[in-house]
Structures are given as structure tokens and as C-alpha cells.
Amino acid sequence: MILVLDDDIQRIEHFRRWYGDSVLVWVTTPDEALNQMRVQSFSAIFFDHDLGDKRLDFGVIGMARTMERESLAVDTPIFIHSMNNVGASMLANTLGHSHNVKVVPFGQMLQIFEKQDVMADETENADDTVQ
């Protein structure tokens, strides 16, 4: 299962395309993310820093502090996909050294996955030509 904390439906549509609905757990608030991490394990976690309700920015940092305090998702790769470099760095620093954290802005993720999609299409077309 893959956990995604984001409130942007367009981004979620990309995650659905990349991973499929059957493995995606989508939440829109830090509290929902914490609740999910408390009841199940994930193979990867993706966090956005800037949620639509600006009052929640503190909530995202509070979530990270709670993760540290409760040792939640310590062995799970965490990707912070926020386009806000300052917020992403602050979130990564709050998670500290006990978590496996990488900051990968969503725009960069989009380029990586779309390049993989193109390569897969080219491979399929080449296979069709050979047969």
C-alpha cells in the first residue's frame, strides 16, 4: 500500500495512473495520515507540505513531530513532493535522521514518470513491430 497526503485532485489522478487505485491510500489532512500510519504499514509514503487550508501547514509539521515521537513509518521511504522548497525542507528536517526521507518536487516526479511512460510505449510499439 502507498499513502499519499495531498489535497490536489490533479496530483492524485497522477498517483492513480502511476500506482493504481488498488494500492493507493489517499488522505487530505495530517490527522488522517497519522491515523492510517497507526493502523497499517506502507511500502512508500508521499507528503505534500502546502495543503489548501493554510492553517494546516503547522499541522503537517505537527504530524512529522508526532511521527518522530511515536516512531511511525520509521522503515518506510518517505517522499516529500511539495513544490514549496522551504516547506519541503522544513518537513524533511522535522522528520530528522530516524526516517528515510527524500525531497522530490512533484514537477520532477512528473517528468520521471512521464519519461517512463514514453519508454514503455516505445517498447510496446517495438514489440508489435517485431511480431
Rounded percentage of the chain residues whose pLDDT exceeds 90 = 63
Q: Is residue 126 part of a domain?
A: no
Assess contact for 94 and 88: CB atoms under 8 A.
no
What is the number of structural domains in the chain?
1
Query: pTM, whole model, 2 decimals?
Result: 0.83
In a domain, 86, yes or no: yes
Query: Quick count: other Cβ atoms within 10 Å of Cβ 74?
Result: 13
Domain-located, residue 121: no
Q: CA quadruple 14, 15, 16, 20: dihedral positive or negative?
A: positive
pLDDT by residue (tens digit) across 14-71?
999 999 988 999 999 999 999 999 999 999 999 998 886 655 555 888 899 999 999 9
Indicate which CATH number applies to the domain containing 39: 3.40.50.2300
Instruction: Check residue 16 and give its pLDDT.
Output: 93
126 pLDDT exceeds 50? no
Residues spanned by the domain of 55: 2-106
In-domain check, residue 39: yes
